[in-house]
Structure 1
Amino acid sequence: MVQTAALVLFFLALLVSGVLGTETRLLFFWPGAVLLGAAGLVATLRWRLRVFFPPSDACLAATLLFAGGLLTRAALSPVPSLALEDGVILLGCLVTYILTVTAASHPRWRIACVVLLLLLVVGNLGMGSVHLSGNWGFHLLPNFLRPAEPGRIGGFFANANHLAAFLSAALFLSAGWLCFGRGGAVLKLWLAFSCVAMAVGMSLTVSRGALIGLGAGILVFAVLSLWLVWQTQRHLFWSLLGGGLMMSLLGGVVLWKVNEEYLRGRTERLTMTNDIRLGIWESALAQHREQPWLGAGARMFHEGGTRLRSPRLPTWAAEPLFAHNEYLQLLADYGWAGGLCLLLLLTTHVGNGLGYLRWFARERFINTGRVLSMNLALCVGALSGLAATLAHAAFEFHFHVPATALTGALLLGLLANPGFEQRQRPTMRLPGVRLLTKLALGAASLALLAAAWLHGRGDYQLALASLAQARKDEPARLQHLDAAAGLDPANPEVFYQRALSRLDRLTEKDRSPDSPVLKQVVVDLQTALRLNPHAYLYHLSLADAYDALSRPDEALKSIQEALKLAPHHEEPRLALGIHWHRLGQWQKAEEAYLWAGQARALNPKDKTNWLDSYRLMLRHVALMRSTAGPRP
């Protein structure tokens, strides 16, 4: 009964996370995190879970090493608020993985997992149809908009590429069930239709990386399927090979024709020679070279992508918050240690999955004479889906999105316990691994619940403050920011936004050295910088406050810190020019403004830029000369 309750909570958590946890921030993932924590905690209450097949101890050990290593590095990262995002997603993946390996090891629960993914597919494609109708920014939640690129469906996801990553994993699990699982004709027709719909949906995301991943997954699925047929039904091999090639060719033609015009245009606009990813990858490699073994810390590419901006990036390109390559991001954030942990994780799980296929063909099939098996279907699907998502990860950052990260953990869980039974050789046991796995499940579940309580409520208030700002309701914004600061005093963004809110409401009376409002702004910005000293915008806002308080030396020091963090950006150079401009040091102001015009990263058109500020300074100088009168 306890195990069933844990599984119900687990499936509900996957459903909620698949609908809401579809962007890189944690705001909408907190409900799913709470449910995952509750599921893991309930499962821990039943110390001896009923596991129907023996899991691989090597896979469990590799997973514990990977999770423990990354969580330790995250805990020691320079900016805890950034590390929290990686840590919570990793904890959620660990709980998902352990429950998949243990409590959900029976085939009927595994079928429920696939059905749940297919329900999410239906929801995502339904949302995609809304986007296709022309409402590209439609979001499931009121008052929120999806930051969409017209012409690309996103489903529940903020980024179309991440929808494609989710669809590829669900597609290959469904394809495995279709080809090797049990079921009647109606079920198989529905699965075939679902696979086609998911492939079309992937093409409508117009994600080139996802299409490369789809090709890799199809190749792995074809090789594994043909090997199984050769081992078990050799008389059908050549017929299936010919039919498979024809279907692949036909499917490729259909997928190309669905989006031929848009794909051509996007390929012409974004060839690899001018794709901004190349510049972002250069920044990630540069950051990795600074701390090659342990990396800069969890999500510290937020800082490295700005400080080490590549000259390849065009001046209009926004800040690269992610490396758009999960492997380079892993090296930049966690170093070679993280890369080796990932390699061990993948090697053990892929090896265990391939070992299951070998065992099935050479032992299980010989004893039973049956090929159709749900365990076999999900193993083939998991290996193919893993190949697709790993290939796609070379171009995207979907493992930093809870919904797709949890789906990846589900695939690994299926491979860690694919369904070995009555093996001729006993399963290798590693002392203490299963005990550590049980303890890890309880600890990770408690950590998820604690994180949701300590940080999730503050996130909610911060989101309400953003909505109030959009409504131009500044009193409500400040009220929500005060509440967020009380609930989560470890979030630097709360104090930064509260300082900006007060700066936006300054009156002429408040712009004096003795202003209590300005002094509170300084306190908030100093708190934000103590929590995250790597955010150059925090330094620039503090410089503005110091200038207003007639503390020019401290303002200059803050600007110089910002220049170290963003040496190639217009914004800190512009701030330096404005600082000298305020002090009436015209020559230094002119030099700074002209220097800002040479920056690699220019401000957006809707923000203050160096040219407008330079022209304003020239007008001020001309006005001063005209009012000074002729010299005697």
Structure 2
Amino acid sequence: MRFAAINTWVQGQRPEAATASGWIAFQIGVFLLPSSLLLAVPPLFWALLQGSRCKRRPWWNDRLNRVFLLIAVLMLLGASRAFSGWLAWFGLMNWLPFFWGFWGFQPYVATAEGRRRIALLFVSGTLPVIFTGLGQLWLGWSGPWQALGGLLIWHLAPGGMPPERLSGLFDYANIAAAWLAFSWPLLLAATFECFARFQAGKARWQLPLLLIFLIAQLTALYLTDSRNGWGAAVLALPLVLGPARWLWLLPLILLLLLPVGFAVLPVIPDLIQQPARALVPEAIWGRLSDLAFSDRPLASTRLGQWTVAAGLVAEQPWLGWGAAAFSLIYPSRTGVWHGHPHNLPLDLAISHGWPVALLLVGVVAWLLLRSARLGMATGPLFERAWWAAVLILVLLHASDLPLYDGRINVAGWLLLAGLRLNPINITAAKGCDAIN
């Protein structure tokens, strides 16, 4: 009886387009993803195989797949003549398999109910990231932690990476912030839904637990010391609550942010700025005004990296220099090493040429705009949260590149697959034909 109940729950909210075994594997993979890419890949790969076998219209008939095929051809051509040599071929692994994943994962996020289930798994799977991160900073936890006879290793940096910044199970604080930031709107949706159930006399013990979870994740996001993460936390609230509440919510947010602006902006007179800085924690206004790095050379700043990156694009505009070329060229021209230009369109243009950058950025923008036009951004609670999670990930890549962590990359393409569908009519669609 207990096994039957568990099986019923696991198979619950399964989109008709998904096979039973693929749905189970997909849920396991999503839950394990933030903890370990090694553990998540086998079930996700099985789910991908099952999703690709779904009887639906031919792969070629989806116009986006044709665009991805063109992008793949251009990437392969660029790699064959790349400045970065074998690194160019290795770098294709950050892209080519995910074009397939975008297609194969669509059956599992083909309905609003399915997306809600996956969103909740992202939320629950994030708990180890929060737990280890807070333990890292507050309790002095450090790795390496090993499992499966050393096959699985968590390198938990003592005191954070960089020091005094929460990184948890990730290699760097900004990457941890990216995960916490895109999962934040999903957690908000879960909390708001639970609050509504609590008001109806249900979820009497779930709501306190979720509120603790909410506070813990917000605390962890703050402790990453990531400006992008902080901005994402603020942006998510109006997106998840929806336009119906913007009339009072947006003025309230602006009013709360006003002291921060006064504390940070250099044009504010001291008569106003000093009281604002007394009100706002120095850890916030100092970080936002880049107090700790005010004497950095230009080559160590985003502006310096973007300037050199734009020049590199102009030198090799069509097929690029090859993946990882920026990390080879930038030190020789500036004397400062950086692994990437901290901007995804620029990184794509340097590595693969501006046509690839334009096509990929265009696809993502089209998915966001089309899904918003079809009602996802203003639809039911978890639909708004899903759309917000994608938008936050997209915006994070304007000044950083968290996708070079495999877990972020997998999560991003999975979320994008959920935007491929029609959020208004998909629940009424049947079987594999639900994918439009």
**TM-score per shorter chain, which class?**
0.7 to 0.9
Q: Which of residues 159, 164, 177 is equivalent to 2:172? A: 159
Rounded to whole Å, the distance in 1 between the matches of 2:22 and 2:35 is 20
Rounded to whole Å, the distance in 1 between the matches of 2:396 and 2:390 is 10
Could you say which structure has the greater relative contact order, defined with CA pairs below 8 angstroms and 6 or more residues apart?
Answer: 2
- The one-letter amino acid of 1:211's match is W
1:287 corresponding residue in structure 2: 312
1:208 corresponding residue in structure 2: 227
Rounded to whole Å, the distance in 2 between the matches of 1:422 and 1:149 is 44
State the Cα distance separating 1:76 from its structure 2 match.
5.8
State the Cα distance separating 1:297 from its structure 2 match.
1.3
Q: Structure 1: any 5+ residue segments left out of the alignment?
A: 22-28, 51-55, 230-236, 310-314, 362-374, 427-433, 438-632
State the Cα distance separating 1:206 from its structure 2 match.
0.2
2:93 corresponding residue in structure 1: 88
2:137 corresponding residue in structure 1: 132
- The one-letter amino acid of 2:283's match is Y
Change (3 A) 1:162 1:144: closer
**Residue 27 of structure 2 corresponds to residue 11 of structure 1:** yes
SS in structure 1 opposite 2:353? helix
**Residue 114 of structure 2 corresponds to residue 109 of structure 1:** yes
**Residue 409 of structure 2 corresponds to residue 409 of structure 1:** no
- The one-letter amino acid of 2:247's match is L
**Residue 361 of structure 2 corresponds to residue 347 of structure 1:** no
**Residue 286 of structure 2 corresponds to residue 270 of structure 1:** no
Rounded to whole Å, the distance in 2 between the matches of 1:58 and 1:347 is 15
State the Cα distance separating 1:152 from its structure 2 match.
0.6
Change (3 A) 1:257 1:263: same
Q: Which of residues 148, 158, 181 is equivalent to 1:168? A: 181
Q: Structure 2: any 5+ residue segments left out of the alignment?
A: 1-10, 12-17, 147-152, 261-276
Describe the superposition over 1:421-453 as per-residue Cα deviations: whole angstroms up to 9, x where unpaired: 2899x9xxxxxxx9xx9xxxxxxxxxxxxxxxx
- The one-letter amino acid of 1:340's match is L
1:379 corresponding residue in structure 2: 383
Change (3 A) 1:179 1:355: farther
Change (3 A) 1:339 1:118: same
Rounded to whole Å, the distance in 1 between the matches of 2:409 and 2:278 is 31
Rounded to whole Å, the distance in 2 between the matches of 1:170 and 1:243 is 21
1:338 corresponding residue in structure 2: 356
**Residue 260 of structure 2 corresponds to residue 260 of structure 1:** no
**Residue 59 of structure 2 corresponds to residue 43 of structure 1:** no
2:394 corresponding residue in structure 1: 390
1:446 corresponding residue in structure 2: none
Q: Which of residues 343, 347, 351 is equivalent to 1:325? A: 343
Rounded to whole Å, the distance in 1 between the matches of 2:423 and 2:363 is 19
Change (3 A) 1:351 1:203: same
How many residues end up aligned between the 2 structures?
A: 379
Rounded to whole Å, the distance in 1 between the matches of 2:279 and 2:407 is 27
Are the aligned partners of 1:83 and 1:299 in contact in 2 as well (CA < 8 Å)? yes
Aligned-CA RMSD value: 4.1
1:198 corresponding residue in structure 2: 217
Give 1 or 2 for the bigger CA radius of gyration: 1
- The one-letter amino acid of 2:219's match is V
1:184 corresponding residue in structure 2: 197
Rounded to whole Å, the distance in 1 between the matches of 2:278 and 2:111 is 41
What pairs up with 1:340-489 in 2 under 5 angstroms?
A: 340-357=358-375, 376-421=380-425
- The one-letter amino acid of 1:10's match is F
SS in structure 2 opposite 1:357? coil
SS in structure 2 opposite 1:301? helix
- The one-letter amino acid of 1:405's match is N
